[in-house]
Amino acid sequence: MISKTLSLVTLFVVAQAATNLDYSKVHLLDYKPNGNTWLFRTNLPMVDGAFAYDKLRGYMAQRAAEINVSFPSADQALKISDFSLLNWFEEPDLLTTEQTFFKENPTLGDFSFQQIAGSLLNPNDYNEENLRIFYILAMDNGGERLPTLMKTFYSQIHDHIPSTPTAYIIHGKNGTERTGEIAGTYIGLLLVDGVQAWTGQKMAWL
């Protein structure tokens, strides 16, 4: 399992508008030691309107290498399981681009999505004594079933043994609000104390 220190570091990502894949938004959230599964957060994995498989793969390899985590080399097989948080009503073209890429390249991975709103509550409005309350509220935000979803991701990383090494990615468009909600929930619920996770999440949320 990923270390507490690394988990918190991945949350300290300053928000910035970005529509092309941005290395500063790609972070390793979790992985299975001596296994073949990894979980990353990122922003929209596209460059100039096209799905950026090779660039994304290279960025993930760089992030893994920074902390001495094994990751498939460029000549080895790797599937990317793309979990998108985009809004079908507001961002249909982006969703279609992702969906089409994996439909045309099934050996490179798969695509799924769940529309979430992100939280309207800003962690920066809370002091640390109230962050636990904020965390509990976010757990039940808008019926988005985040705890159940996070446990599914955790099981994919730690219990599932895919025949091909698989990198799971979670992303919205800018890699901040929606992606931040998922990353903070995953780390706070499954990896470290919730208050610590939300303290770090304050800089990554909006």
pLDDT digits (tens, 9 = 90+) for 1-36: 444 334 434 443 433 344 799 999 999 988 998 899
Do the domain assignments include residue 140?
yes
All residue ranges of the chain with pLDDT < 70 are: 1-18, 117-146, 188-206
- 10 Å Cβ neighbour count for 155? 10
In the chain, the percentage of residues whose pLDDT exceeds 70 is 67
Mean pLDDT of the chain: 77
Please give the model's pTM, rounded to 2 decimal places. Answer: 0.78
CATH code for position 10: 3.90.190
**Domains in the chain, number:** 1
Task: State the residue range of the domain holding 104.
Answer: 4-201
Q: What is the CA radius of gyration of the chain?
A: 16
**What's the rounded Cα separation, in Å, for the pair 137 and 27?**
25
Do the domain assignments include residue 206?
no
User: How wide is the angle at C-alpha 70 spanned by C-alphas 54 and 45, nearest 5°?
Assistant: 25
**What's the rounded Cα separation, in Å, for the pair 46 and 49?**
6
**What's the rounded Cα separation, in Å, for the pair 125 and 93?**
34
